[in-house]
Amino acid sequence: MAESPVTPPRARATREAATDTAIRVRGLRKTYDVPERESGLRASARSLLRRQTKEVVAVSGISFDVAPGEVVGFLGPNGAGKTTTLKMLSGLLYPSAGEATVLGHIPWDREKAYLRQMTLVMGQRNQLVWDIPVADSYELNRAIYRIPEIEYQQTLTELIDLLDLETLLTKPVRNLSLGERMKCELAGALLHRPSVLFLDEPTLGLDVTAQRRIRTFIAEYAARHNATVLLTSHYMADVEALAERVLVIHQGALLFDGALGALVARFSPHKTLTIDLEYPVLDLDRFGEVVAIDDCHAILRVPKTQAAAITARLLAELPIVDLSVTDPPVDEVIDTVFSSGASGADPDQLSEIETALEPISV
Amino acid sequence: MIDLIHLYRAQFKTTIAEQFQYRGALVIWLTGLILEPVIFLSVWAAVARSQGGAVDGFTANDFAAYFLLTLIVDHAGFTWIMWEMEYWIRQGNLSPLLVRPVHPIHRHIANNLTFKLLTMVVVIPVVIVLGFVFRPSFTITPATALAFVPAVVLAMALRFAVEWTLASVAFWVTRVNALNQLYYVVFLFLAGMAAPLALLPEPVRILAEWLPFYRMLGFPVEVLLGRLTPQQVAVGFAAQIAWLTVALVLLNVTWARGIRKYSAVGA
């Protein structure tokens, strides 16, 4: 337990900020050996003698870079490998192969100098001691992270202000609602002003208002402290609001790395045409798939390549009052990508999709 | 070092606040802790009286002195890590502790010491009251009192290190309760919990003197009671230090390997 002298966190963070990568991942891979046996007594007996295990690939060699101060959304269905990746980058898991550096440290060495500069928020029971008031838990964190008194007071005031925690601090954690607890968890995880944040589903289970509150806060924190954020979420709204850049991971492989808008352009084969008509028209389906129709208002889905031509035809042939061409909502696009593959019923279909998606260089 | 003191102080406050939330549970816990040596004491005192006043030279009042001191030393030394560790590992509660820049052992040491300080306030008066009931006979000299302090501190450290190491088995074995039970039974007899070592059959007594358990409980008690020769005390200290060294090495190795496994299979 010898305390080795370490570079003060902030000095190091500044040095790292000078380079242009906060997180660097190359060919990162993680496989698990999962015990496997058939049901039944005989199989049980056999497995006593020799355990059958099956190798499951959770993350299959992904590579990406994240610049300091960048907020990146990590998208993928359950079991895609998001959490496993976050756990490797925060130092909780050893990878099976590949390498990664975060702020110049190898995460799974768990050097104290690294741990002092990063935070991992996973689930809702990390930072806070269940039975005591929130403020007391924060005091403990202050000691754990050796936060100087003045800096601690500054940060705490800022967090109380941003998250509206004033009335919560004196309550025992078990008396807080889910949303309140998440706010307090987040604040606790940020008291030491980490420059890298790994957030796994920070808004899970929260109502819309609380979700928005947390989102605004994360954006605000990242901007103020030039923090690098890697966040996973099931809620597209989170990612849309926070991340200009998204990483799409599916079955352990990186399918897409780029701007959110580009994701839609790349994956959605459709455009949405919304039209207002002077009077109802019945045979709209000759122009494209009718998604919704209500008297003089209709929504059509048409292949992207034909969108221009169809728009021209609509304008020429119908009494159009108003017309707009839009991309479908992001979550719809994502849903199409994942549901076609994630159901896993037809491996051929999946490989077709993956070929079509041309996985970006890994 | 100053940072560590700061950490322990913060942890003390947290634990005290936590423990006061569970006053009921605390009372039940303490009752069990006190009852066990009192039962052994009652049984042995009865045996002594039925055998005309003494068993192998132990009178009922000697037993009272031995078991009441055992109560205090056992309370000072006991840990609950063997039960807690499994929970940490199985529920994934260890994960948040691992990504903090402090070894989780500090948290447990601080918790343990705080709990002891807090509960000694109850245990000492209880022992004094029991003293009026069971009438222990003992003489404490400055020399034995002086030797008792390092003996009990080493006993606490040794027991903590051994039990933390055994607790780490939970990294490899899913159900550690069987091991815990076995350890408890061994401890009961070889530590001098159920009976002073002098009353055990010769081979068992020799075994107990070579193994670490007696050094965690019976040894400091007998040091204070002046039942040991200076040579036995010196050998005892040497044994405590030797076992503590072994236990600390084992602790570091099993912990490092355990964490490595935990980190490999999915923290």
pLDDT tens for residues B110-169? 989 988 888 888 899 999 999 999 999 888 899 999 999 999 999 999 999 999 999 999
pLDDT band at A5 (very low <50, low <70, confident <90, very high): very low
| Average pLDDT estimate for A313-336 | 83
Choose the mutation target among A144, A147, A175 for the interface with B, i.e. most B CBs under 10 Å: A144
Q: How far is CA B254 from CA A85, B77, B107, B120, in A?
A: 26, 21, 18, 32
The reported pLDDT for the residue numbered B183 is 94
A295 touches chain B (CB under 8 A): no
B257 touches chain A (CB under 8 A): no
Could you say which DSSP state residue A304 is in? G
Tokens of A220: 């605000």
The reported pLDDT for the residue numbered A37 is 66
The reported pLDDT for the residue numbered B86 is 86
Domain spanning A9-25+61-261: CATH superfamily? P-loop containing nucleotide triphosphate hydrolases (3.40.50.300)
pLDDT band at A98 (very low <50, low <70, confident <90, very high): very high
pLDDT tens for residues A202-255? 888 778 888 888 888 898 999 999 999 999 877 777 888 888 899 988 888 998
Q: Which residue has the higher pLDDT, A339 or A71?
A: A71
How far does A135 lie from chain B, in Å, by closest CA? 10
The reported pLDDT for the residue numbered A353 is 40
Residue B192 has pLDDT above 80, yes or no: yes
Q: Which residue has the higher pLDDT, B48 or A349?
A: B48
For residues A334 and A247, give the distance between their C-alpha atoms in angstroms, rounded to a whole number: 12
Q: In A164-251, where does DSSP find H-type helix?
A: 178-190, 208-225, 236-242
Closest listed residue to residue A140, CA positions, set B97, B90, B92, B82: B97
The complex's ipTM? 0.81
Percent of chain A with pLDDT over 70: 86
Counting Cβ atoms within 10 Å, is residue A281 exposed (0-12), middle (13-18) or buried (19+)?
middle
Lowest mean pLDDT among A104-108, A141-145, A347-351, B218-222: A347-351
For residues A312 and A184, give the distance between their C-alpha atoms in angstroms, rounded to a whole number: 54
| Contacting residues of B for A94, CB less than 8 Å apart | 260, 263-264
B106 touches chain A (CB under 8 A): yes
The reported pLDDT for the residue numbered A4 is 43
| Average pLDDT estimate for A131-152 | 91
Q: What count of other Cβ atoms lies within 10 Å of the Cβ of residue A289?
A: 12
Burial A309-324 (b: 16+ CB within 10 A, else e): ebbeebeeebeeeeee
Residue A301's contacts (CB-CB under 8 Å, 6 or more residues apart) are: A270, A271, A272, A273, A288, A289, A291, A328
Residue A2 has pLDDT above 70, yes or no: no
A139 touches chain B (CB under 8 A): yes
pLDDT tens for residues A250-298? 888 998 899 887 887 777 778 888 999 898 888 888 888 888 888 889 8
CATH 3.30.70 fits A269-326, yes or no: yes
Q: How far is CA A133 from CA A159, A169, A176, A181, A348, in A?
A: 16, 6, 10, 11, 55
The reported pLDDT for the residue numbered A270 is 83
Report CB contact under 8 Å: B7, A144: yes
Report CB contact under 8 Å: B98, A92: yes
| Contacting residues of A for B110, CB less than 8 Å apart | none
Domain edges within chain A: 9-25+61-261, 269-326
Report CB contact under 8 Å: B105, A1: yes
| Average pLDDT estimate for A317-346 | 72
Residue A128's contacts (CB-CB under 8 Å, 6 or more residues apart) are: A134, A137, A173, A181, A184, A185, A188
pLDDT tens for residues B57-82? 899 999 999 999 999 999 999 998 98
pLDDT tens for residues A11-54? 444 444 446 899 999 999 998 887 776 677 777 777 666 667 78
The reported pLDDT for the residue numbered A9 is 43
pLDDT tens for residues A162-196? 888 899 999 988 899 888 888 899 899 999 999 99
Percent of chain B with pLDDT over 70: 99
A270 touches chain B (CB under 8 A): no
For residues B257 and A349, give the distance between their C-alpha atoms in angstroms, rounded to a whole number: 43
What residue has token string 């091991």?
B179
Residue B211 has pLDDT above 60, yes or no: yes
A245-250/A253-259 β-pairing: antiparallel
Q: In chain B, where does DSSP find H-type helix?
A: 2-20, 23-50, 60-77, 81-90, 94-98, 104-134, 142-167, 177-190, 202-210, 213-216, 218-225, 230-265
A245-250/A53-66 β-pairing: unpaired
Report CB contact under 8 Å: A116, B101: yes
Mean of the per-residue pLDDT values of chain A: 81
pLDDT tens for residues B152-174? 999 999 999 999 999 999 888 87
